[in-house]
Amino acid sequence: MKHTMQDAGFSPQASRRGDRMQDTAYKKKSIMYHVSCIMYHSFLFFLLLFSVCCLQSAVYCFAEEPPTFITSDSLKYEKSTSMYTAKGSVLVEQGETIMIANEMQYDEKTSNVFPEGNVIFDTPDIILKAEKAEFNLNTKKGTFYNAEIFSKKEKFRVSGEEIEKKGEKEYFIKKASITTCENPSPEWCIKGRTADIIIGDRFKVRDATFHVKDFPFLYTPYLLGPALTERKTGLLTPVFGHTQSKGFYYRQPFFWAIDEDKDATFIVDWYTKAGLGEGAEYRYVAPGNVEGKHWLYHFRDKKAELDFYELKSTHSKRSKDGLSGYWNINLLSEENFYREFSMHRDERVNRFLESTGELTLPSDNSRLYLMSQYIIDLKDGSHNSAVAQRLPELGYVVNPSSAGPLVFSMTSSASNFARDKGVSGQRLDIYPKLSHSFGDRVIIFQNLGLRETVYSLQDNADEGFKSSVHRDMFDYNITASSRFIKKYSENFTHGIEPSLGYTFVPWIKNVPLFDSTELSTKQSTIGMSLTNRLLDKKGEFLTVSVSESYNTYERDVPLSPLSVSAYIPRPFPVTADASYNHYTDRMETINSSVSIPFKKFAFSFGERYNQPNNTMFYDIGVGYTHSKNLSAEVKLWYDSKGGGMRDSSFIMKYLQQCWGMTIMVNRKPPDEVNNKPSEISVFVTFDLLGLGSYSARK
């Protein structure tokens, strides 16, 4: 038979007192009714208003602590000590919180309970299991012995010899172990002499040791980390690595959750042979489509006795109606920084590093802008670069707008160009255009442009330019295009898109080269192109395009190279393009790429050939996905024109329920300029659920 004890419940004496109070109140209200109907209706109005306010509020009026119910197989009461003893399937219920144990003592005076045997304390946030406990039902505080906490939302598991519940979500643990793994024998955990944890916030561990299985891996006298799967201030997982020239590598990031809309990350890099580096990243978002990210890094190379600095900064504010702007700044103190320290091939082989910034003020059909552009030449020994820096440019653009049967558009700009060597100066460029199109089956499109460009030049004598140069230009273009479709069956459709065009630029003046504005050439060119499309029920499965042009002003070589391109989307994507020179009877360029998925594998192949530059590159990739937990990828880059094997990389990713690992192996090619051999580097990144991770190189 189940025995039930209720801590707060219904009382007969209280009920009779309530009846007498109701009779008295009724008599008083009757007297008041006869004395003043106005006061009575006022009272009813006030009572109704008070009830509505209570219903609209988020809490109950006159809210009280929920009653406590204790049930068990047997229940004894010791009157002298006011102590209840419950045995067998003991269950304590208090609102949404329950406690289960084999047996339990309950002190009626203090509301202390002493459960023993398979103790389970279950709340909406956590489940706490223990051998025994001392707990107060009123203060919700107590101590659990040989216990384990499981956080339902954050998926954290915390165990210890003693777990003291100090507040609603705050716990103090002796001989603590922290993990997010579900297995009884976790893949990783953090053990410490003591731990102070606020569930959903953070943890602090004294004498902390990071364990992989049962093996102690790292030790720190103090560790602060986030105790949740969302962003929170604390240490992130470190990155380990090794390079042949710089030795062992270690990166330790620290994440600072400043607010919901901003955060910062601080990192320390250490190479045993090269030196120490430090960096900081700051990110933010704000109302009005505002966002930004800023990164500053410094490394002191003790071998080269050289300081490297890197700055990356982006900020944008987008608006359709008002002032918009952005900047994207990328600066280096040394041109070889990426070749020395980057683990990403795209950064190592990049020739130029660009920084831009722009303010834009749009109107109904135009926009006014102010922009700057700064480019760093990353080639060794290019401190005095011939690249023109746009510092700054003021421009006004008129978007295409109808003017009767014509469409008018215009670009205009005033630019200042500076560079270390070569011609510098200022340029004013105005380029209005008129365009017109008509036709149905055959569409005729034509445009007429008048361009006026004025230069004021400095450092111009060596290249034979006057200090003041003027260029006016006229260009006309007309194109006729059409589309013919023949459907042979439900499974096969053929489309042909021919195009014939003519471009006329009768004269052009020699001016210094700053950007694409100066790339126009004198021409009277007829251009032809033909595109074939083949389709089935699933859509397009083959596209082939052919194009060529003939310039009557080029008497020696009027024909341009014949260009051919093709694209096959199915069953695996293939792209290819090539150009053929009639006069040398040789292929000038050949480019192709193909990706072939086959069961758990993915193969990729690319080829880049350029006959005028005498280059021939191949890139080969193989990917393997063993399961959703394990995948690997290998990539190779090969120079067949003498360089041989260039870059190569191997990436393996392993993912489990509570942790993941990425291993990256890179091979850098020899540096002929600085007489350095090829180098192999290895980086290992861990991602622990609940602790977060950070990449080895920004």
What span, in angstroms and rounded, lies between the C-alpha atoms of 246 and 301? 9
Q: What is the CATH number of domain 68-235?
A: 2.60.450.10
pLDDT computed for residue 436 by the predictor: 96
List beta partners, residue 352: 377
Average pLDDT over residues 428-434: 97
Out of 39-53, 58-72, 111-125, 637-651, least confident range: 39-53
The CA-atom distances, in angstroms, between 516 and each of 271, 374, 512 are 44, 16, 11
Better-predicted residue by pLDDT, 108 or 551: 551
By C-alpha distance, which of 642, 587, 650 is closest to 617? 642
- Residue 235's contacts (CB-CB under 8 Å, 6 or more residues apart) are 223, 224, 225, 252, 253, 254, 255, 691
pLDDT digit string, tens, across residues 150-186: 988 878 899 999 999 999 889 999 999 999 888 888 8
What span, in angstroms and rounded, lies between the C-alpha atoms of 132 and 142? 11
- Does the pLDDT value for residue 380 go beyond 60? yes
Identify whether the C-beta of residue 661 lies closer than 8 Å to the C-beta of residue 685: yes
Peptide bond into 571 cis (omega under 30): yes
What span, in angstroms and rounded, lies between the C-alpha atoms of 9 and 6? 6
pLDDT digit string, tens, across residues 312-330: 999 999 888 889 999 999 9
Q: What percent of the chain has pLDDT over 70?
A: 88
Confidence of residue 643 (pLDDT cuts 50, 70, 90): confident
pLDDT digit string, tens, across residues 137-150: 889 999 999 999 99
pLDDT computed for residue 19 by the predictor: 37
Average pLDDT over residues 400-410: 93
For 447, phi then psi, to 5°, come to -145, 150
- Tally of residues, the chain: 698
Identify whether the C-beta of residue 204 lies closer than 8 Å to the C-beta of residue 221: no
By C-alpha distance, which of 303, 315, 307 is closest to 337? 307
Cα torsion 223, 229, 232, 236: sign: positive
For 74, phi then psi, to 5°, come to -140, 150
pLDDT digit string, tens, across residues 542-598: 999 999 999 999 988 999 999 999 999 999 999 999 999 999 999 999 999 999 999
- Does the pLDDT value for residue 46 go beyond 70? no
pLDDT computed for residue 49 by the predictor: 37
What span, in angstroms and rounded, lies between the C-alpha atoms of 115 and 132? 6
pLDDT computed for residue 394 by the predictor: 97
Identify whether the C-beta of residue 173 lies closer than 8 Å to the C-beta of residue 163: yes
Better-predicted residue by pLDDT, 575 or 67: 575
Better-predicted residue by pLDDT, 382 or 567: 567
At 450, the amino acid letter reads L
The three-point CA angle 589-594-599 to 5° equals 170
Residues of the chain with CATH 2.60.450.10: 68-235
In this structure, the strands spanning 615-625 and 601-610 are antiparallel
Q: How many CA atoms lie within 13 A of 62 on its CB side?
A: 2
pLDDT digit string, tens, across residues 211-258: 888 888 888 899 887 776 566 787 788 899 999 999 999 999 998 989
pLDDT computed for residue 657 by the predictor: 84
pLDDT digit string, tens, across residues 317-367: 988 888 999 999 999 999 889 988 888 888 888 889 999 999 999 988 999
By C-alpha distance, which of 452, 458, 544, 535 is closest to 497? 544
Q: What percent of the chain has pLDDT over 90?
A: 62
Average pLDDT over residues 491-516: 94
Is the pTM of the predicted complex or chain greater than 0.85? no
At 144, the amino acid letter reads F
